[in-house]
Structure formats: C-alpha cells, structure tokens
Amino acid sequence: MPYHEFTIRIPNAFREKLIQRLTSKGCLGFIEQDQAIIAYFPETVDARAIARELSIVKELLEKTHRDLELTYGHGIIPDHDWNEAWKKGFTALDVGERFTILPPWEEARIGRINLIIDPGMAFGTGHHETTRSCLVLMERYAGKSAKARFLDLGTGTGLLAIAASKLGYEQVVALDIDPLAVEAAAKNVALNRVENVLIKEGSITDAPGTFDCITANIISGVLIVLASDISSRLNPSGLAIVSGVLAEQADEVADAFRLHGLTLIESMPDDKWVSLVFVK
Ligand code: SAH
C-alpha cells in the first residue's frame, strides 16, 4: 500500500503540538529530523484533509507569532520505501547505563538490558527526550525502593513498563487511554517476552492497588489533574517519576504534586523538557 508523506518544516517549539494534531488525523508515524518532521499517513487518508489541517496550523502560527512559519511538501511513496524510511528512523539507541532500545529487526546487544520496540502507531520509541529521561531516572532509583509493584501511566508503546519488568519489578501495570497504544504495548510486551506486565485501557482510576513506583510521561495539564490520584496510589515509600513537562511549566506541576503530599527530590532537564521525581 502506498503512503502519503508530508515533510513539514515548523519551529521546534511547535513540533509536539503538530504531532498531536496529525496523530489525531490518522498519522501512522513520524521521523524527526533536524530541519523537518516527516509524517506518514495511509493511502486511505484524504491528503486534502491533512493539507487543510496544516493550513490551519500555519495560519494560527502566523497569527500568534509573526516571524514564524510552517511550510510543507507532500508526496506519495510506495510501501517498500516506507519500510526503509521507517527503519532508518528507528535505529538502536543506548540509554542510561544499561538500556538499549532497539527495533525488532536489530540484534540484541550483549550485556545490556534490551528493550525491543516495534513502534506501531503509539508514541514512545525512546527517541524522545522525555522517554529517555524516564528510563535514566528509573534506572537511578530502582535500587533505592521496594520493587513489588510498578505503574506506567500513559504507557504508549509500553516501553517504560517493559523496562520496569526488566529492572526487576515483580508486578507491572501499564495503562493508556488510547486503544492503539494498548495494542502496540501488548505487541511489544510479547516481543520482549516479559510476563508480569498487565496492560489495560484506562487511566489512573483503573489502576488496582498501590505502587512502589509510578511513571507518568504525559503533559503538564494532564499531570496536574492526575496529581491527587497519583499521590494516593503511591506506597508510603513510593516514588513518582513525572515527565512530559515543559521547562516553563515545571513549577506549576511541582506545586500540584506538593499540594497532594509529595516532595520533589530531583528535577532533570533535557532540552526544553524537565522530568521530576517525587517521594511521599
Ligand atoms: N510512556 C511512553 C509514552 C508517553 S506518550 C513514553 O514515555 O515514551 C503519553 C501517553 O499517555 C499517550 O500514549 C497517551 O495516549 C497517554 N495518555 C494521555 N492522557 C492519559 C491519561 N489521562 N491516562 C492514561 N494515559 C494517558
């Protein structure tokens, strides 16, 4: 099946928003380059609808930020090229001291904790700063708390849940409100042959019991709303790793978690993002 390929140039600060909008319009995947984002859609998607969506974003951008602009090109590529392009975008990546994230077509690395991810349609190939920070923090704190129960809220491809299992957490729960993410996570859990990860469609209120560690790599607005529930599901010595927070929103997010009884113990910046670690 051929695919639509949109090559979009947009200021970096607006990439995330654009990715969200295009995902909701049926985008199958993105390749992020220095100068552009390449977005792929199935042949069945009406390219004119995507072009309209891009025009809306372009107009909004130009209205609110006079010097910034969005430009794009559209092409159709055959299936074969799509696979090649996809593969090029997802090469093995070492993260933290021990993790290697790799696609199913690459050989596992000896001596590393291999996290095999077939990105499917969900977010979380590990190439995003916030995902990488979560992995680094998980690794850093895994030895410092009990490892009975782990919750990955907003699991996407299931990457952090799989990492938790491989770090030795006994029981891992992975939740996502997006059924496509649940599907992708199930596939990746199977690829990694981890057997203690329970994947469910839903959010924090669907999480059974309490946890020693909770990861939530979502976005500030959602994290602020979920702060109370995250706090109440943490064990007394539990740890929450919260990410997806833009640097300028870190204080607001930290305040929300503080209000619900948590203490900020580490704040890890990466580019425009910050990941926060809280304890009860
Ligand atoms: N954990 C992965 C994916 C993060 S993307 C990683 O770190 O790379 C964020 C995910 O959160 C998306 O898959 C989205 O569907 C999910 N999400 C957004 N709001 C949510 C909510 N209220 N409850 C559960 N999942 C949510």
Summarize the confidence of residues 227-236 as an average pLDDT. Answer: 97
Q: Who wins on pLDDT, 240 or 107?
A: 240
Q: With bands split at pLDDT 50, 70 and 90, how would you rate the model's confidence at 178?
A: confident
Q: Quick one: pLDDT at residue 268?
A: 97
The residue to mutate among 176, 200, 219, 228, having the most atoms of ligand 1 within 8 angstroms of its beta carbon, is: 176
Counting from 1 in the atom list of ligand 1, the atom nearest the Cα of 176 is 25
Q: Quick one: pLDDT at residue 62?
A: 85
Phi (first) and psi of residue 159, to 5 degrees = -55, -50
Q: Residue 169: what residue type?
A: Y
Residue 212 Cα to ligand 1 midpoint, Å, equals: 19
Phi (first) and psi of residue 168, to 5 degrees = 110, 10
- Per mean pLDDT, which of 28-42, 47-61, 113-127 is the most reliable? 47-61
Taking the C-alpha atoms of residue 96 and residue 138, their distance in angstroms, rounded to an integer, is 9
Name the percent of the chain lying above pLDDT 90.
62
The residue to mutate among 177, 189, 245, having the most atoms of ligand 1 within 8 angstroms of its beta carbon, is: 177
Report residues whose beta carbon is within 6 angstroms of any ligand 1 atom: 122-124, 128, 131, 134, 152-156, 159-160, 175-178, 181, 203, 217-218, 222
Residue 135 Cα to ligand 1 midpoint, Å, equals: 15
- pLDDT of 261 higher than 80: yes
Question: For the sheet containing 37-42, what is the strand order?
Answer: 29-32, 37-42, 3-9, 71-77
Phi (first) and psi of residue 117, to 5 degrees = -130, 120
- Residues 155, 161, 163, 166: what is their CA dihedral angle, to the nearest 10 degrees? -160
Taking the C-alpha atoms of residue 137 and residue 19, their distance in angstroms, rounded to an integer, is 25
- pLDDT of 85 higher than 70: no
pTM equals 0.74
Residue 218 Cα to ligand 1 midpoint, Å, equals: 5
Taking the C-alpha atoms of residue 203 and residue 93, their distance in angstroms, rounded to an integer, is 29
Taking the C-alpha atoms of residue 15 and residue 269, their distance in angstroms, rounded to an integer, is 18
Q: Who wins on pLDDT, 69 or 266?
A: 266
Q: With bands split at pLDDT 50, 70 and 90, how would you rate the model's confidence at 91?
A: confident
Residue 244 Cα to ligand 1 midpoint, Å, equals: 9
Q: What is the 3-state secondary structure (H, E, C) of the chain?
A: CCEEEEEEECCHHHHHHHHHHHHHCCCCEEEECCCCEEEEEECCCCHHHHHHHHHHHHHHHHHHCCCCCCEEEEEEECHHHHHHHHHHHCCCEEECCCEEEECCCCCCCCCCEEEECCCCCCCCCCCCHHHHHHHHHHHHHHCCCCCCEEEEECCCCCHHHHHHHHHCCCEEEEEECCHHHHHHHHHHHHHCCCCCEEEEECCHHHCCCCEEEEEEECCHHHHHHHHHHHHHCEEEEEEEEEEEEEHHHHHHHHHHHHHCCCEEEEEEEECCEEEEEEEC
Q: With bands split at pLDDT 50, 70 and 90, how would you rate the model's confidence at 86?
A: low
- pLDDT of 122 higher than 60: no
Counting from 1 in the atom list of ligand 1, the atom nearest the Cα of 218 is 9
Q: With bands split at pLDDT 50, 70 and 90, how would you rate the model's confidence at 184?
A: confident
Q: With bands split at pLDDT 50, 70 and 90, how would you rate the model's confidence at 265?
A: very high
Residue 206 Cα to ligand 1 midpoint, Å, equals: 14
Strand partners, 152: 174, 215
Counting from 1 in the atom list of ligand 1, the atom nearest the Cα of 134 is 7
Summarize the confidence of residues 252-266 as an average pLDDT. Answer: 97
